[in-house]
Amino acid sequence: MIDRPSESSGERPAIGVGLLGCGNVGSALVRLLRSRTEEIRRRLGTALELRAVAVRNLSKDREAPLEGIDLTRDAESVIDRPDVHVVVELIGGIEPARALLRRALEAGKPVVTANKELLANVGAELFDLAESAGVDLLFEAAVGGAIPIVRPLRESLAAERVRRITGIVNGTTNYVLTRMAEEGASYEEALGEAQGRGYAERDPTADVEGYDAAAKIAILASIAFGGKVVAGDVYREGISGITQADMAFAERLGYVVKLLAIAEAVGSGAGREVSVRVHPAMVPKRHPLAAVRGSHNAVFVEGEAVGELMFFGRGAGGMPTAGAVLGDLVDAASNLLRGSASSVGRLVPVRVRAIDELVSEYYLNLAVVDRPGVLAKVAAVFGRHGVSIRSMEQEGLGDEARLVFITHLAREADMQATVAELRHLDVVRSVGSLLRVVGEEDAPDLLVAGGAL
């Protein structure tokens, strides 16, 4: 039962908050709630009061003012308290977060979460539950940390036909790629530096292999296209194969290398699909995403009516993320006071386009033996698979030469077949990176003709 005190005192009754998890983001949220008391009261016409906090380890020191607040290991008891009206989940992972969120929503209590893993895997189930219960499930901080992107997609662009979302949504990989490009660092050096600065985990797999970005783009694709897109639907490549040679050629050819998370609506009518992918890409220096350096994030949205929009900021960090959580919390409290709730609607099944069907321009870097006739042999392989070459650069390296190609638009399947044949060509010593070129021009058959998929 929810305890709703009467308004006899004149001021509206305080809204009670229950917090599940008090780590990096949770502690920052507790500090923010304490320091923003007045701003929140002005905005809501009442106070937001933290009533109870659930953690795993009760004896841990926390950088948060928790005096007078009930600290417990029993997260369910926090949700069940009658004086807790809104639940904030900052535990992370799928279980027990999923069961706890279900419990809160089933009890009619709005939930705020920053849990990308949860939403990218079982988001549709939780959105349905929130919809049936008529309560908020808000998650601005789950994608892009402090950057407002979820609310603009849900609300400002609610009736927009979004064509494509292209994001730099992982600060660790953007930091590593920026150091490689600007300081000439190797991948290993740049990653070590990121770990030293606390931008990368000791096990960086989730970031460098693109899993984190895949979860985020699955969430953005779901909201933008109203479809059930889960992390497992996202085609994914990481940045661990990017070399200094790729960086040097990118610079010479007028590009920067970025790990991009892309969701786009493809095809039209009954053939409408969504393409969702995470991979490193060559981005022209003049594209707004090329200017996103270091650990910053940005999301570039292209819509039929609104044109191009870009959202930029801090994609992670305890305090920036807590800032976004607090915004959701105030929103949920305000909706609760008004007796309303925002909605993402019910997500419908969508067809996800296979990566083989992608149409893109490509960058390919090859080491070949340096003797006459080699270029003709290599070019013939491209020709056999219908891939036409837009530009080529050659660099001598002793008895070896490096050839760098940029293609015209080609199908992924044809490009992969080209690479497979090149690997077996006698004059090719090694096949280096194959990177998609993004942001140069639109592939004509990728234009969308409808709204939700």
Residue 179 interacts with ligand NAP (CB under 6 A): yes or no: no
DSSP output for 356-380: GG-EEEEEEEEEEE-STTHHHHHHH
Q: Check binding of 167 to ligand NAP (CB under 6 A).
A: no
Q: Which of 120, 114, 44, 126 is closest to 85 using CA atoms?
A: 44
Q: Which of 141, 283, 364, 403 binds ligand NAP (CB under 6 A)?
A: 141
Which range binds ligand NAP by CB under 6 A, 154-162, 219-227, 317-325, 410-418?
A: 317-325
> Closer CB to ligand NAP, residue 91 or residue 378?
91
- Looking up tokens 């008891």 gives 77
Least Å from the CB of residue 414 to ligand NAP: 38
Using DSSP's 3-state secondary structure scheme, residue 124 falls into: helix
Which residue, among 354, 352, 345, has the nearest Cα to 226 in the 3D structure? 345
Q: Is 215 in the site for ligand NAP (CB under 6 A)?
A: no
Q: Which of 4, 34, 60, 384 binds ligand NAP (CB under 6 A)?
A: 60
Ranges within 318-377 binding ligand NAP (CB under 6 A): 318, 321
Q: And the tokens for 284?
A: 């022209």
CA 303/CA 306 separation, integer angstroms: 5
Could you tell me which of 323, 367, 354 has the C-alpha nearest to residue 147?
Answer: 323
End-to-end CA distance of the chain: 39
Give the range of 18-26, 227-235, 377-385, 403-411 binding ligand NAP by CB under 6 A. 18-26
Taking the complex as a whole, the smallest distance from the CB of residue 90 to ligand NAP amounts, in Å, to 4
Contacts for 22 with CB less than 8 Å, ≥ 6 apart: 30, 53, 54, 55, 62, 64, 66, 90
Query: Is 377 a known active-site residue?
Result: no
Shortest distance, CB of residue 387 to ligand NAP, whole angstroms?
A: 40
Nearest Cα neighbor of 187 from 249, 245, 252, 236 is 245
Using the contact rule CB under 6 A, the part of the chain among 51-59, 156-164, 219-227, 385-393 near ligand NAP is: 51-59
Decide: is 22 part of the binding site for ligand NAP (CB under 6 A). Answer: yes
> Should residue 20 be labelled a site residue for ligand NAP when binding is judged by CB under 6 A?
yes
d(Cα 50, Cα 453) in Å, to the nearest integer?
40
126 near ligand NAP, rule: CB under 6 A: no
Catalytic residue among 109, 116, 216, 228: 216
Q: Would you name the residues annotated as active-site residues?
A: 216
Contact set with ligand NAP (CB under 6 A): 20-26, 54-57, 60, 75, 90-92, 96, 114-116, 141, 145, 316-318, 321
